[in-house]
Each structure stands twice: as C-alpha cells, then as structure tokens.
A and B are shown apart, each in its own frame.
Chain A
Amino acid sequence: MTAQSRVDAQTNLIVRVHMIWRILFALLAAGTVYMMWTTAAETSLWQKIVLSLTAVAAAGFSVYGGVQISKRNHVGRMTSLVLDYLGFVACFVFALNVGEFFIGIDALGQTFGKGLPYLGITILGYFLGALEEYFPGKKKSPESSLKVVSRWVMIGGFILFLWQVDAVKGVIYFLGKLAQPTGLIAIVGLVIFGLSLWSLNRTNISLALNTKTGHEQIINGWLFLSPNLIGFLIFFAGPLLLSFYFSFTDSDAIRTPNWVGFENYAKILNIKFVTLDSPDQLARDVVDIKIYDEVGRFTFGNTGILFAAADKFFWLALRNTLTFVLFVVPLSVIPALVLSNILNSKLPGMKFYRAVYFMPSIAAVVGISLVWQWLYNATIGYINYFITLGIEFWNNLFNVAVVDPKIQWVSDEKTALFAIIIIAAWQTMGFNTVLFLAGLQNIPGELYEAATVDGAGAWDKFWGITLPMLAPTTFYVVSTTTIQAMQVFEQVFILMNPPEGPNNSTITLVLYLYRSGFQNFQQGYASAIAWVLFIVIFGLTLIQFQRQRRSSIYES
C-alpha cells in the first residue's frame, strides 16, 4: 500500500461517514415529525404544520444529499453544508435560549447603568486611536505610541465594564443553565454539526466530492447573507405570512384560532347608504341597528343620505386618518418646498438653519407630544396665550372687539384632530425641507443660466425649471409623508385622553388596530385591519406613482 492510497482510503472512509450521517439526520428529522403528531404536545396546529414541513424538508434534502455524496457529486457537499450549517445555527440559538441568554438581557439592564461610564472610556480609547489619522505629517510606525495607549485604554475600559455589569456572574449562570439535559443535547448537536462542517471544508474531502472553484463564492455569499436572511425570515417574512393567515381567523392570542374565511373583511367592509326622507330622520328607522351603526350623514335640502356601517369605528378611523393625511401632507410639504428654495441661496448660515429645521424630526414623538400637550393647555398654554396676545394687538390696532376664542384644543371634537395635524406637520416639515434641498442642489445650474438669458423671471424659473426637475423628489417626499401619516398613532395616544378623543374625533386606523388587537384581543380582526390599512397605503402610493410617471412623460 502506498501513502497515496492510504490517504484515499481515509478520504473514502470519511465520505462514507458523511453518507451515514445524512441518513441518520434524515431519520432523526422524520422521527421528530412522528413524535410531534403522536404525543399530545401543547403546540397549536399551525406550529405543528410549520415544524413538520421544516423537518420533512430537512429529511428529504438529507436523503438527497446522502445519495449525491455517494455519487461523489458536488451537489451532495452543498446540500450537506446547508443542512449542517442550519443545524449548527439552530443548536447555537437553542443553546443560548437554554442558557437564558436572551432573557438575561433584562439582568444586564439592571447593571448596565453602572458599567456605562467604563463603556464610555472604551469608546474614548477608540477615538484616541482614530486621532492619529489627523496627524499625517508624522512618520507612521506600525505601532505608534498613540495606538498602543488607545488599545490599552480600550481593553482596560472594557474589562472594567464587564466587571461592573457582573459579567462573570452572568457567564457562570449561563453555564449552570446549560448543564441541564436540553442544554447538553444542544451542545452535542453543536459539536456534531461543527465537526461535519469542518470536515466538509477540508481540501481532500472537497476535492473528493468534485468541488469547483466557483463554489467558494456561492458558499461565502449565502454564508454572509445567512444571519440577515434567517432573522429576516423569522421576524419579518414569517410574521407577514402569519398576519395574512390570522386575518382569516378569530385569533385572540390565547385559544387556537378558528378559520372564519372572509368574515373579518366582510365585517369591516359591510356598509350601507340609505336615502333619508328628512335630514333628521333617526337611523333606526332606516337601517337594522342590530347590524349597522350610523357613521355620518350628508344632508342637502329636504333630504339626505345616511352612511351606516357594521363597524362604525373602522370607518370613523378611516375618515380621521384620511383627513389627517389630507392636511398633514400639504402642510408639511408646501412650506418645506418654500423653505428649501430659500435655503438653497448661497448665503452664509444656511447649514445652521437646515440643522435647526431638522431637529423636530429626530425627537421622540412621545416626548414631543407631551410638550405640545402643555402648549395646547387651554388656560395656561402658550398657544392660547399667543392667540390672546394677537387678538389684543389686532383689537388695539383697528379698534375692534374680536372675541378671544380660548380654544379647548384637545377636548373639543372640532379642534382635536387639528391639534394632532399641527404637531405632525411641525415634526415632518424640517425633514421634508432637507429632502427638497438635496433635490434642488442636484438641478444643474446651466438650466437657470439658460433661462436667465432667455429673459425668464424668478417665478417662471420656479414653475418652468424647479418644479419639473424636482418631480422625483416631490414624489418621494409626498409618498413617504403619506405613508408616515397613514400610521399616525403616538401623538394621538399620548395627547388625547381617552386616545379616541372627544366623540371619537381622533380615532385613527393604527389606534383602532391597537385597540382591537391588544385591548379587546381580537387579533384576527386586527390583522384584517392591518391588511386593509396596507391596501389603502399601497393604493395611495400607486396613485402618486402613476401621477408622477404621467407628469414626467409629459415633461419629456
């Protein structure tokens, strides 16, 4: 036997072990499915289905991988890599969970405050190292004294930080929890999957399985994407599908949800228009009030139309939300357009104003709403004070007697929604200004020069050049503002007491969704509201997109 053939024999053996491992893996997965359906575990049907499908798929792929490995096909290696990697990640997350790593973030919250100053020192150390970049004149040795100091400050600061947050205690607790049977299973899994991955990546095995050079990039690509993709599937795409499923059930977050078909949607969309004999005819005379509630009526002369719906709150919320959008969008876009044109002048200090205008949009909406709540206070608030001052000034100037309205901003159903509109417009205006400003700075100056030569005035330039050239930015600004405004919730929730406002005047779609889903726990119904909201938002964006496209075609 030559050395070469001994190596070949060893490689063959390892490949065979991989084949056996694939079969074993498939059996384990199949066994899990069997166990799940035979024992009465406390899992709901959809969880069982999802888990079984995953396990069956894993088993199937594992068998396929084993067959391909036996054929020495590179597909076998790839399949194995994917399965073992996913298994490794699952075991890792499971181990963290058993060790109460995720729950442990709470405990960290308790001690984190003590450690913060030391974390600050660590960050300071980093900046110390970065400081070196600002002294390019000096000759850079590989390890300048500043770098060394910086590194030691960082290490020292971080160790002190760990000490302050009781990291040692945490690690001991973690290991103690891991020592349970479930934790040990996770560790065994980690070792097996890890070994398999390591072995598959060794040169002789990958050569034996006919790996090609391009495979490296494919593996790297999926590997780099995987943390993001796995999390995205679990915490975004999966829930999105689940939301769609829930919208067809009567889910209440506790019991197993029952399939109800289109019932939720039917209830939302169940509306009725009835002509009235007289403008003040009672709703119960014209509609079945066991099903319908009056949402509103439009009266003209001697007759009118009554608008009734099975779920009047949804339609009130829709009305309020659309009214809100209808006001907030122009109130935050038009001043922003004007201000950005002013800011675009080359005068000194424009960056300062730009920063100031931007400030409201970064402040927490909850905090901002609390501030405005006191500004809106009817007796001591600044807004009514300014109105009083203005009216006094006006009265003195023209010798008239305009009566001070003393507006009850948040407790009057006529002004409540408008109070919210003002806050939102105030908060988004600066953001939009910055967006417009960027759009303006991208318009080539030659256009204006050419227009000046042709004798166009400032106004002509604005209508003829600025607005058409700004159309893409305007589309972006209007659609993002609309999407944001459609989701108004925090201002209403904080400012209004109760959040629905006087006579439901500030109930919004997201507020209603929150109320249905998390106060009445009709989570299936709340999901249906979410999808209707999405369709409305999508529709509005689509309309704006169509308009923008048409206008840009027209311009060209």
Chain B
Amino acid sequence: MNMKSYRFIRFLSNLGVYFVLTFFALIMLFPFFYMLSTSFKIPADTFRYPPRMLPRDPVTIQVDGYEEPLPLYFVEVDGVRKEYALAKSNIKVGIYAPADDQTNSVERFLSEVKPTGGVMNQQKVTVNGEEVKLFDVEVDGQVIPMILVEQTTVGEFIDPQNPEAEPVFQNVRLSEPVENVSWHPENYKEVIELNNLGRALTNTTLVTVLVVLGQLVTSVFGGYAFARLKFPGRDTVFVFYLGTIMIPFVMLIVPLYQLMVLIGWTDHLASLVIPWIFTAYGTFLMRQHFITFPKEIEEAALLDGASRFAILKDIIIPASVPALATQATFTFLYAWNSFIWPLVIINVGNEKNHVLTLALNVLRGRASDTPNLILAGAAIAIVPPLIVFILGQRFFVESVAGSGVKG
C-alpha cells in the first residue's frame, strides 16, 4: 500500500516534470514553427486575424457561364451552412426606412429603387432640420416613399451545383471563405531569385567555409605550439593571448575598419574572411585539447625520426576529430550569423557581396508588406545552422558544457 502510493507520487512528479519541460520546449520552438509556417503562406493569409498556424488558400471553383474560377464562401441558406461561389461582388445596397419611423427599415438594391417624383424632380423631406431625398420603395406590393439610411455593398453568392437557382446576397467581408491548407514553397524561390538571397546564401557559405578552414589551420598549429613545443617567450605570448579573450569585438570595429580601408578590402568578401582566421580563442581551445594528448606516443614518433609536422598530421589530427569538429561548429555559427561587421564593411548598395544577414536587413525594409517573404528569408538564414547543430550536436553541446565547467 505504501509502495503503491510512493509509485503514484513518483508518477505524478514525473508527469509534472514532463509538463514543465514540454511547456518550455514549446516556448523555445514556437517562433521557429511560426517562421516556417508563415514562410509558406500567401501574403493575405499572413495578415489574417486571428492568426492561424497552417498556411491556407481560398478555394475557387469553376462554374458554368463564368470565365474565371469563383471563390467559395460559407453561406447560410435556410439555416444550413453551404458552400456557395461568389459570382459578383460590390453590389450596392441601401437600407431604407420611412422618414418618421427609421427603425422599420428594409434593404433594397440601389438599382431597384427610383427617386420619388422622378430623377429630375425628386421629392425631399426634412429630418432633424436637414433635407433628405425620398425614394419609392416597394414593400409587400405597396410603394412607400422612404429615405436612404445607410448604404453598404453585398456579394451575390450562387450555388455552384445549380447556378440558375435563386442567388443569396450577403456581405462579402463578413462571410467566411472556404479555405484549404496549402503550402507555397515558391516563396523561397522568389526570395532567392528576386531578393538576392541566392547570392547572399552562396557568399555566406563561401565566407563560412573559408573562415572555418582557415581558423582550424591556424589554431591547430598555434595550439600545438603552445601545448607541446618548448620555446622562449611561449608562456608570455600565451598569457597575452589569454588576456585578449575577454575583449569584446566592438572594441576593434573602428580601427579594423580603418585598416580595411588602408588595405583596400572594404566592400570585399576578403574583409569578412581574412581577419577572422586568426583567433586567440580558437588557439586557446586547441591548446587545451592538445595538452591532454599523451606525450609518450609523440616521443616515440620523434625517436623514429618523424618531424613535428608529420606527428601533427599523422598522429595528433586524426585523433582530434571531435575537438576539431567542435571548433568547426563554433566557428561556423559565428561566421554564419555575424552581422555588425558585414554591416559596417560591406556597402548596402553592393548587393553582389552581401551575406545573408545583410540581405535580410535589406529585405526587411523592402518587403515589409509581405511577411511571408521576410520569414522565408529568415528561414534560409536560420535553418542551415540548425542542421549543422543537429549533425554536430553530440560534440557541440558537450563542449559548450565543458567550457562552463572549466571557466
């Protein structure tokens, strides 16, 4: 009995744990879902309130006697909800009432109602001190002069199965359209081809690949020198490297800009690649990794006459793939997502050298009435790093975790 209740409490608490975790997971994931679903919508659908998750399109139907397919709406006929096609919209309707009893109103098409006394000599009545025109309105076979209280428009809805039957008239905007879920991957095509996201994606990939490769090479060599080779000045330089890790990048943005002006790299992709290849942080991480590598293997290889370079290439690098993958992932994310430096160094007008973040910044201003395109662009920038993350997850998360413990 006691055991049973203990288990029950355990079950309840586990349920609570999963509830809390799932709740937070939904908060974390919701913006991503929203981004993806919106990126597949049509513009009209993105502005709908209340918002809906899945992208939808209005349904149209081909009706005999009409050239264009007609949009379908839900229409209530004799208390039954039916799908009717909108044959004609913007039909003007007036709400008419006798001048002395405005609550007793009727609805008539403007075209059906004639001015009282003819067009040339329309009779008028004074209501609340103002002269108002009178119209002949037929009610139950009787013609009564009435005033126009209000004017609206309605649409003519017909039964698609039976177009000849009596149409239904009702307000189009208040009617609920018939919609089905449909995805529009062509949004991606549009941003890639028309909004420069294609070139930006290529440039970002190129820059990222070069930065990752370059940084791996320099930090592997530098890290190895710090970890394994003894030379005068090593520890001084290492302390110097360590000291600069804390310095935020914005400190460098002005002088680095002027340096780029001096070299002539402004507006060129080189400015996004070359300065980023040499990092103290990457070298530090590599050094931390190499220092854990057993010395004995290396010493044996040295006795066999292997050069330092051969040892690095044939023994140490093959054994360090996880560490290299971790650093590659870090660098990938940093290079892929960077914004302030490209913003400073690449001109807004020079679209052929834009990277994704810059292209998004331009798209934001240019496509503010089509959120579907903006979010398709955002997805192009966000999804590749997510894929890399999912592939390199094992290395990446563990190592982020590791840096925290050591720090």
- Chain B residues with CB below 8 A from A220, complex form: 225, 229, 231, 308
Looking at the complex, which one of A105, A434, A514 makes contact with B206 (CB distance below 8 Å)? A105
Other-chain residue from A102, A108, A345, A530 in contact with B274 (beta carbon distance below 8 A): A102
Chain B hits for A374, CB < 8 A: 34, 38, 46, 371, 374-375
Chain A residues with CB under 8 Å of B278's CB are 227-228, 230-232, 234-236
CA–CA, A218 to B169, complex, Å?
A: 92
For window 87-105 of B, CB contacts with A under 8 Å fall at none
A268 interface hit (Cβ, 8 Å): no
Interface membership of B127, Cβ < 8 A: no
Contact pick for A236, options B34, B264, B280, B337, CB 8 Å: B280
> How many cross-chain pairs have Cβ atoms below 8 Å apart between A and B?
330
A497 to B357, CA, bound (A): 17
- Choose among A47, A364, A541 the residue with the greatest number of B CB atoms under 10 Å from its CB: A364
The answer, among B31, B269, B273, B401, for a CB contact under 8 Å with A437, is B401
Tell me the complex Cα distance, A171–B29, Å.
47
Q: Interface stretch among B61-69, B176-184, B377-385? A: B377-385
**A358 on interface, CB distance cutoff 8 Å:** yes
How distant is B14 from chain A, measured CB to nearest CB, in Å? Answer: 6
Chain B window 321-345, contacts with chain A (Cβ cutoff 8 Å), 1 for yes, 0 for no: 0000000000001001101100110
Smallest CB separation, A92 vs chain B (Å): 14
A535 to B250, CA, bound (A): 13
> Once bound together, how far apart are the Cα atoms of A375 and B357, in whole Å?
19
Partner of B333, one of A362, A441, A473: A362
In angstroms, Cα B264 to Cα A99, docked, is 14
Q: Establish whether residues A431 and B218, one from each chain, have CB atoms under 8 Å apart when the complex forms.
A: no
Q: Are A494 and B246 touching (Cβ within 8 A)?
A: no
Neighbouring B residues of A105 by C-beta, 8 Å: 206, 210, 268-270, 273
Nearest chain A residue, comparing its CB with the CB of B249:
A487
Q: Is B234 an interface residue (CB 8 A)?
A: yes
A364 touching B400, Cβ below 8 Å: no
Within 8 Å of chain A (Cβ to Cβ): is B248? yes
* Nearest CB in chain A to that of B229: its residue: A221
Task: Please state if A541 and B206 are interface contacts (CB–CB under 8 Å).
Answer: no
Q: Is the CB of A362 within 8 A of B222?
A: no
Chain A residues positioned under 8 Å from B378 (CB to CB): 364, 366-368, 370-371
Which among A97, A108, A235 has the greatest number of chain B C-beta atoms within 10 A?
Answer: A235
Residues of B within 8 A of A399 (CB): none
A514 touching B344, Cβ below 8 Å: yes
**Contact partner, B375, options A370, A439, A490, A537, Cβ 8 Å:** A370
Q: Which of B48, B237, B254, B340 contacts A527 (CB 8 A)?
A: B254
Contact of B404 with A435 in the complex, beta carbons under 8 Å: yes
The answer to whether residues A363 and B231 also contact, given A246-B254, A342-B17, A517-B254 and a CB cut-off of 8 A, is: no
Q: How far is the CA of A351 from the CA of B385 in the complex (A)?
A: 19
- Shortest CB-to-CB span from B144 to chain A, Å, is 43
- What 1/0 mask marks residues of chain A from 421 to 439 whose CB sits below 8 Å from any chain B CB? 0000010011100111111
Interchain CB contact (< 8 A) of B250 among A379, A431, A513:
A513
Given known A225-B221, A530-B253, contact A371–B31 (CB-CB < 8 A): yes
B402 on interface, CB distance cutoff 8 Å:
yes
Asked if B258 is at the interface of the complex by the 8 Å CB criterion, the answer is yes
**Cβ-defined contact, B382 with A364, below 8 A:** yes
CB distance from B210 to the nearest CB of A (A): 7
Decide: B28 and A426 in contact? CB cutoff 8 A: yes
Contact B257 A431 (CB under 8 A): no
B35 touches A371 (CB 8 A): yes
The reply to whether A367 and B382 form a contact with Cβ atoms under 8 Å apart is: yes
How far does the Cβ of B338 sit from chain A's closest Cβ, in whole Å?
9
State A434–B403 Cα separation when bound (angstroms): 11
Q: Which of A61-69, A109-117, A185-193 contacts B (4 or more CB under 8 A)?
A: A109-117
Residue ID in chain B nearest A489 by CB atoms: B340
Q: Does A533 contact B (CB under 8 A)?
A: yes
- Contact at B25–A251, with CB atoms within 8 Å? no
Looking at chain B's contact residues, the main secondary structure is helix
Interface size of A by CB at 8 A reads 110
B206 touches A109 (CB 8 A): yes
List residues of A (331-352) whose CB comes within 8 Å of B's CBs: 335, 339, 342-343, 345, 347, 349
Looking at B131-139, B160-168, B195-203, the stretch in contact with chain A turns out to be B195-203
- A43 to B: closest C-beta gap in Å: 9
User: Per-residue CB proximity of B343-357 to A under 8 Å, as 1/0?
Assistant: 110000000110011
B359's nearest neighbour on chain A, judged by CB, is A366
Other-chain contact of B48, A380, A486, A518 (Cβ < 8 Å): A380
Stretch at the interface among A27-35, A135-143, A237-245, A448-456: A237-245
CA A517 to CA B258, docked complex, whole Å: 11
Tell whether, in the assembled complex, residue A225 and residue B17 are in contact, meaning their CB atoms are under 8 Å apart.
Answer: no
**A236-B252 CB under 8 A given contacts A106-B352, A363-B385:** yes
Tell whether, in the assembled complex, residue B29 and residue A231 are in contact, meaning their CB atoms are under 8 Å apart: no
Which chain B residues in 377-407 approach chain A with CB under 8 Å?
A: 377-379, 381-382, 385-386, 389-390, 393, 397, 400-405, 407
Q: Which residues of A contact B32 (CB under 8 A)?
A: 359, 363, 371
Q: Would you give the 0/1 interface string for B264-282, flagging 1 where the beta carbon is closer than 8 Å to chain A?
A: 1100111001110111100
B257 and A380 within 8 A (CB): no
Tell me, yes or no, whether B79 is within 8 Å of chain A by CB.
no
Q: How far is B48's CA from A136's CA once the two chains are assembled, in angstroms? A: 58
Verify if A357 is at the interface (C-beta below 8 Å from B).
yes
With an 8 A cutoff between CB atoms, is B239 at the interface?
no
A113 to B51, CA, bound (A): 37
Q: Does A229 sit within 8 A of B, measured CB to CB?
A: yes
Q: Check B198 against A113 for contact (C-beta < 8 Å).
A: yes
Query: Nearest A residue to B354 by beta-carbon distance?
Result: A109
Chain B residues with CB under 8 A of A366: 337, 339, 356-357, 360-361, 378, 381
Asked if B229 and A339 sit within 8 Å, CB to CB, the answer is no
Q: Which of A102, A353, A354, A472 contacts B268 (CB 8 A)?
A: A102
B residues 219-253 touching A (CB-CB < 8 Å): 219, 221-222, 224-226, 229-232, 234, 237, 240-241, 244, 246-253
User: Do residues B237 and A229 form an inter-chain contact, with CB atoms below 8 A?
Assistant: yes
Whether A473 touches B405, Cβ cut-off 8 Å, given contacts A359-B389, A365-B337, is: yes
Q: Is B21 an interface residue (CB 8 A)?
A: yes
Q: Are A227 and B407 in contact (CB under 8 A)?
A: no
Name which residue of chain B comes closest to A358, CB basis. B397
B8 interfacial by beta-carbon distance below 8 Å: no
Q: Which residues of A contact B305 (CB under 8 A)?
A: none
B47 contacts which chain A residues (CB < 8 A)?
380
Give CA–CA (A103, B47) in the complex, Å. 44
- B219's closest neighbor in chain A, by CB? A228
Q: Are A355 and B393 in contact (CB under 8 A)?
A: yes
Q: Which 3 A-B pairs have the closest CB atoms?
A: A231-B278, A438-B401, A221-B231
A-B contact pairs, 30 of them (CB 8 A): A103-B270, A109-B203, A110-B199, A110-B352, A217-B230, A225-B237, A227-B218, A232-B278, A240-B252, A242-B255, A243-B251, A339-B24, A354-B397, A357-B28, A360-B28, A363-B386, A366-B356, A371-B32, A373-B364, A374-B38, A374-B371, A374-B374, A385-B51, A430-B28, A436-B404, A493-B339, A523-B257, A526-B253, A530-B250, A533-B251
- B residues touching A (Cβ–Cβ < 8 Å)? 14, 17-18, 20-21, 24-25, 27-32, 34-35, 38, 46-51, 198-199, 201-203, 205-206, 210, 217-219, 221-222, 224-226, 229-232, 234, 237, 240-241, 244, 246-259, 261-265, 268-270, 273-275, 277-280, 283, 308, 333, 336-337, 339-340, 343-344, 352-353, 356-357, 360-361, 364, 371, 374-375, 377-379, 381-382, 385-386, 389-390, 393, 397, 400-405, 407
Q: Besides the contacts A103-B265, A116-B205, A224-B221, what 6 more A-B pairs have beta carbons closer than 8 Å?
A: A217-B231, A240-B252, A246-B254, A364-B357, A370-B360, A510-B250
Chain A positions near chain B (C-beta within 8 angstroms): 47, 97, 102-103, 105-106, 108-110, 112-113, 116, 217-218, 220-222, 224-225, 227-232, 234-240, 242-243, 246, 251, 253, 335, 339, 342-343, 345, 347, 349, 353-360, 362-368, 370-375, 379-382, 385, 426, 429-431, 434-439, 441-442, 472-473, 475-477, 480, 483, 486-487, 489-490, 493-494, 510, 513-514, 517-518, 523, 526-527, 530-531, 533-534, 537-538, 541
